[in-house]
């Protein structure tokens, strides 16, 4: 009787171990986008200057994996992109902005900081004005994040 119980327990342990091993192999084969854990965010930087004459707002954005290049934004122009992140990634896009003699680098998107504050629409918007940089996740309610 005791021997039968030990054999049953051994078979149960082997079956459980095999199931866990197969699960690990299956998950490691799949790409993250197939796991449906990718989250997509829209990032937008807008030239919100009201009197910047003929000088454009020059912006350059990049991550460690992707250089988005530079743009020269006139009043009201924007620079937008979409990015994908997963809960184990550390997605980080920084931008350098120059206008006249002013220059500022900032984190346009930084996981996990922005996973919460860009919700619920997954929109991270920046409005660059004469007095500083404003953030919004709905482009209606802007909050000054920092000065030049």
Q: Are 61 and 108 a contacting pair, CB within 8 Å? A: yes
Examine the domain organization and report whether 10 and 57 are in the same domain: no
pLDDT tens sequence across 44-93: 999 999 876 678 999 999 999 899 999 999 999 999 999 998 767 789 99
Biggest CA–CA distance in the chain, Å, is: 92
pLDDT tens sequence across 100-140: 899 999 999 998 889 889 989 999 999 999 999 999 999 99
Residue 21's domain comprises 2-30
Examine the domain organization and report whether 72 and 88 are in the same domain: yes
Distance CA 116, CA 119 (A): 5
Examine the domain organization and report whether 25 and 76 are in the same domain: no
pTM of the model: 0.73
Q: 96 forms bridges with which residues in the sheet? A: 60, 105
Here the tokens at position 52 are: 């910047």
Examine the domain organization and report whether 69 and 141 are in the same domain: yes
Examine the domain organization and report whether 43 and 92 are in the same domain: yes
């Amino acid at each position: 009787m005791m021997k039968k119980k030990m054999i049953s327990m051994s078979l149960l342990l082997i079956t459980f171990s095999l199931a866990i091993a197969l699960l690990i192999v299956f998950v490691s084969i799949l790409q993250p986008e197939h796991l449906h854990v990718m989250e997509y965010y829209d990032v937008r930087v807008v030239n919100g200057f009201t009197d910047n004459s003929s000088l454009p707002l020059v912006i350059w954005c990049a991550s460690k994996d992707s250089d988005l290049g530079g743009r020269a934004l006139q009043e009201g122009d924007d620079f937008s992109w979409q990015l994908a992140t997963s809960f184990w990634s550390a997605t980080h896009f920084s931008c350098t902005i120059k206008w006249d003699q002013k220059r500022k680098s900032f984190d346009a998107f930084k996981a996990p900081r922005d996973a919460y504050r860009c919700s619920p629409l997954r929109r991270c918007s920046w409005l660059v004005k004469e007095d500083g940089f404003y953030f919004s996740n709905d482009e209606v309610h802007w909050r000054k994040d920092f000065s030049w």
